[in-house]
Amino acid sequence: MECVLDVEFAPDVVEQIFLDAQSDSRSEKRYTLWSGLDLKVTAWADDYEPGDLWLTVEARKPFSPSLPAILERAKYQAYRLGQWQEAQSL
């Protein structure tokens, strides 16, 4: 997402997301990953689905042309993660 949107998510917020996920808390959480003049990226975890993280991207400019790029990069990252996990199991 960062590459496609050309932003760097707040490292402390990303770290907090992982800490909250490990704490097994069941309360709703909301995070602001990036907030700029033309773009805002927020995330939240519901209290009834704490393992799922939902993202919202708000942009002043039309955003739809970026969606295929986001999907393609996500597939590539999932592929790379699978390769890394396979290499770790050898």
Q: Give tens-digit pLDDT for 56-66.
A: 989 887 766 67
pLDDT of 50 strictly over 70: no
Q: Which pLDDT does position 10 carry in this prediction?
A: 93
**Mean pLDDT across the stretch 8-19?**
91
* Confidence (pTM): 0.67
The CA distances from residue 15 to 23, 33, 61, 63, 65, in Å, are: 12, 11, 29, 27, 29
**Mean pLDDT across the stretch 51-72?**
80
